[in-house]
Amino acid sequence: MNFRRSAAGPAGGLVTVSRRPVAGSSYHRFPIPSAADMAGLPRLYRLTAAMKGSLVTRLAGISIVNTHLLANRDGDWSQTNRFYRLHQGQLAALGQYVGTVQQPAIVSGDFNIARDSSLYRDSIRDTGLLDAFGDDCPPTFHAAYLEPGKISNCIDFLLLSNPSITVEAAELTFTGELPMPGGPGYLSDHLGLQVRVKF
């Protein structure tokens, strides 16, 4: 199990569990957004934005970059949305860091941006990362947790830094309710992404 300790628990809320020996790890906090990029955001979001980042777990032959961008509760990823510039900055910082990773990498996590948004398209274009799910991107957030009238989107991704990483299988996990102490419930508000890769 890999995580970076912080006063509020695992840094960025990120933990990576591996069956393989961990060769090394590091945590990279996103730059603190400018006041202009946080204009219009509630105070709690401004505080949370300063704690987001990426946890890197180095294994033999591959690195796992686990990341979590700030949530966008508006469900609007257009360029005029109040979260747009902040997400743009976080994606740019993530892309710059991933570009320095020496070995092939899987970039995974809750990106909190919709697959059909310009934020996703521009990030994929700028970084050259490949989506492990290809063109198939089912919703990754349980609709039961959304406000009435809102639709679920694909906002979680497994991205590959190198075409030498071959995807043998890709599927969703945690799709249904499970037995819980208080009765059946979902393990998370998100569905899990699972891939089997060869590298």
User: Residue 67: which pLDDT band, with cuts at 50, 70 and 90?
Assistant: very high
Specify the pLDDT at position 6. Answer: 85
Residue 38: name the closest of 49, 29, 28 by CA: 49
User: Residue 8: which pLDDT band, with cuts at 50, 70 and 90?
Assistant: confident
Residue 7 has pLDDT above 80, yes or no: no
Average pLDDT over residues 165-192: 96
In this structure, the strands spanning 166-173 and 156-160 are unpaired
Residue 22 has pLDDT above 90, yes or no: yes
Cβ density class 130-166: b for 16+ within 10 Å, e for less:
bbbbeeebebbbbeeeeeeeeebbbbbbbbbbeeebe
- Quickly count: other Cβ atoms within 10 Å of residue 186's Cβ: 16
User: Residue 1: which pLDDT band, with cuts at 50, 70 and 90?
Assistant: confident
Specify the pLDDT at position 190. Answer: 96
Average pLDDT over residues 174-190: 95
Measured distance CA(52)–CA(57) in Å, rounded? 17
Average pLDDT over residues 20-49: 95
> Domain segments of the chain: what residues?
5-198
Average pLDDT over residues 95-121: 97
Residue 101 has pLDDT above 90, yes or no: yes
Residue 11 has pLDDT above 90, yes or no: no
52 CB-near residues (< 8 Å, 6+ apart) = 12, 29, 30, 68, 69, 70, 90
To the nearest whole number, what is the mean pLDDT of the chain?
A: 95
| pLDDT tens column, 120-169 | 999 999 999 999 999 998 999 999 999 998 999 999 999 999 999 999 99
Average pLDDT over residues 87-108: 97
For residue 96, the SS3 value is helix
CATH number 3.60.10.10 given to 5-198: yes
Residue 80 has pLDDT above 90, yes or no: yes
Measured distance CA(38)–CA(82) in Å, rounded? 8
Residue 5 has pLDDT above 90, yes or no: no
Specify the pLDDT at position 2. Answer: 86
Residue 171 has pLDDT above 90, yes or no: yes
For residue 124, the SS3 value is helix
Three-state secondary structure of 126-190: HHCCEECCCCCCCCCECHHHCCCCCCCCCCEEEEECCCCCEEEEEEEECCCCECCCCCCECCCCE
Measured distance CA(4)–CA(20) in Å, rounded? 18
pTM: 0.93
DSSP conformational letter for 199: -
